[in-house]
Structure 1
Amino acid sequence: MTTALPAQPRTASEHLEAVARVQGVAKRYGSGDATVHALRGVDLAVRRGEFVAIMGPSGSGKSTLMHLLAGLDSPTSGEVWLGDREIGALDDTALTLLRRERIGFVFQAFNLVPTLDVIGNVMLPFELRGAKPSREERTFIGRLLGELGLADRLGHRPRELSGGQQQRVAIARALASRPQLVVADEPTGNLDSRTGREVLSLLASAAAGHGQAIAMVTHDPIAASYADRVVFLADGRVVAEEGRMDAERIARFMLTLEDAR
């Protein structure tokens, strides 16, 4: 199985490098005394070939930030960019089309279609777009399925697969059309520790080997230790960003955030 490559040194953020970015983003829910400030002036960029972990205590805004990056929600103020397109003000139809074409998703619950076999689930993004993969895309997908250890499982339905195999199918589906951005929401939450490590290595390798930009929300310091960069949120703000960190150091920093609440 492919393993993660060491993170490469990165230069200062430049807009032209960013696959996805938010600039001065705020998100509020409710009004008056019931207003909740989920995000307060957040800046963040995710670059091609970079695996970014987003962490923070419960209520810090990390899920809201992921939803904005993925076009699943719109900001109250500020800008959200995917490549060279500002997406924050797009309507629902435009956002749906954009997500299908440019964003891949990996969720904790796998979200596979139970009536489709492995290859059917992997090809689903093409089906939803009404597109057929090119010969070059089919070659890439075949290589990807081999790397993920799924080549002999193509005719199996989700119920016939282990949890780890189902998550690998979800990763293959997310990567198959080579989207600009892959967002992962607690992707190891339903996996045992060994399988979780395998999945994290695969995500890291997708960034390093296939040039994917990956943003992962997690509460798990071990999961975050696989990322090239760890972004910490608290009370809707980015309070720290670090390069690759070991799990123990991440856990200590998270404790300081919890203690400060």
Structure 2
Amino acid sequence: MSQPLRAIARVEQLSKHYGSEQARVTALDAVTLSFAAGQFTAVMGPSGSGKSTLMHIAAGLDSASSGRAWIGSTEITGLGDDELTVLRRREVGFVFQSFNLVPTLDVRGNILLPFDLDGRTPTAAETAWIDELIARLGLRDRTAHRPHELSGGQKQRVAIARALATRPTLVFADEPTGALDSATSRDVLRLLQDASRDFGQSIAMVTHDPVAAAHADRVLFLADGRLVRDSGPASAAELSGIVLGLEDAS
């Protein structure tokens, strides 16, 4: 019998409300879930289901109205801005749809940015890891290029390398293929799969795209701010059917 996977981040009875009593909107409603170590998890659901809100709170980018959240063994609920900034810098990686590369830095400079922000130089082991990432991601001949000299797919590869460079506890990916064509999207999703399967990286990806979610080991479904389904790997057609059913029910 296989051992359960260790939780790398979790939320407990997490709720988020916006607006006043008369016009209150509930984005999350008592959600409890965990992200497992070394697992590629996709979070899906209809528009307005709470996917991005969940990610932002779990990553320490937003605060909850009630409930608790942990990254690793650290409870982030109630941490001050300075403590959260340091924790995110050291424990969390981010891959966004808009890439968020620094235009004045070349590829290597963008990948090294988390170390620069933390005020330190990579160790020899970390430098070897970064060099491996650059090679695996096909960026070896692009390290001196600036973002404006790269294609969309190359920019997203740089963003993935930057997110993995410090070996963070968890990488959050928010619609990482939304700005890419279908062929480049497949490449980027395979890279995220490789990061999980080959490097043991924990990844949580928010997406509306069933083709993207089909690359994940696990798919969580939100609807009306609640966790309504926790699924293993599934085909794009199966995932699309589930999301359509949630949309019809809302």
Q: Same fold (TM over 0.5)?
A: yes
Match of 2:243 in 1: 254
1:132-147 alignment runs, 5 A limit: 132-147=121-136
SS at match of 2:198: helix
Match of 1:42 in 2: 31
Kept in 2, the 8 Å contact 1:48–1:207? The answer is no
**Aligned amino acid, residue 82 of structure 1:** I
Q: Does 1:165 align with 2:164?
A: no
Match of 2:12 in 1: 23
Which runs of at least 4 in structure 1 moved beyond 4 Å after TM superposition?
Answer: 9-13
**Aligned amino acid, residue 229 of structure 1:** R
Deviations 1:89-148 (CA, angstroms, capped at 9, x unpaired):
101111111110110000000010011000000000000000110000000110111000
1:88-99 alignment runs, 5 A limit: 88-99=77-88
Q: Does 1:177 align with 2:166?
A: yes
2:96 to 89, 103, 107: 107
Aligned-residue identity in percent: 59
- 1:10: Cα distance to partner? 6.7
SS at match of 1:33: coil
SS at match of 1:210: coil
TM-score (structure 2 length as normaliser)? 0.98
1:189-204 alignment runs, 5 A limit: 189-204=178-193
Deviations 1:14-35 (CA, angstroms, capped at 9, x unpaired):
xxx1111001111111221111
**Aligned amino acid, residue 219 of structure 2:** V
SS at match of 2:61: coil
- 1:12: Cα distance to partner? 4.6
Alpha-carbon distance in 1 for matches of 2:14, 2:20: 18
Contiguous gaps of at least 5 residues in structure 2: none
**Aligned amino acid, residue 200 of structure 2:** G
- 1:52: Cα distance to partner? 0.4
- 1:11: Cα distance to partner? 5.0
Contiguous gaps of at least 5 residues in structure 1: 1-8
SS at match of 2:161: helix
1:49-64 alignment runs, 5 A limit: 49-64=38-53
Match of 1:6 in 2: none
**Aligned amino acid, residue 210 of structure 1:** F
Q: Does 1:129 align with 2:129?
A: no
Q: Provide the aligned C-alpha RMSD in A.
A: 1.1
Q: Does 1:242 align with 2:213?
A: no
Kept in 2, the 8 Å contact 1:46–1:52? The answer is yes
1:224 to 193, 213, 226: 213
Higher alpha-carbon deviation: 58-67 or 204-213: 204-213
TM-score (structure 1 length as normaliser)? 0.94
Alpha-carbon distance in 2 for matches of 1:174, 1:208: 16
SS at match of 2:189: helix
Kept in 2, the 8 Å contact 1:22–1:45? The answer is yes
Match of 1:76 in 2: 65
1:33 to 17, 22, 36: 22
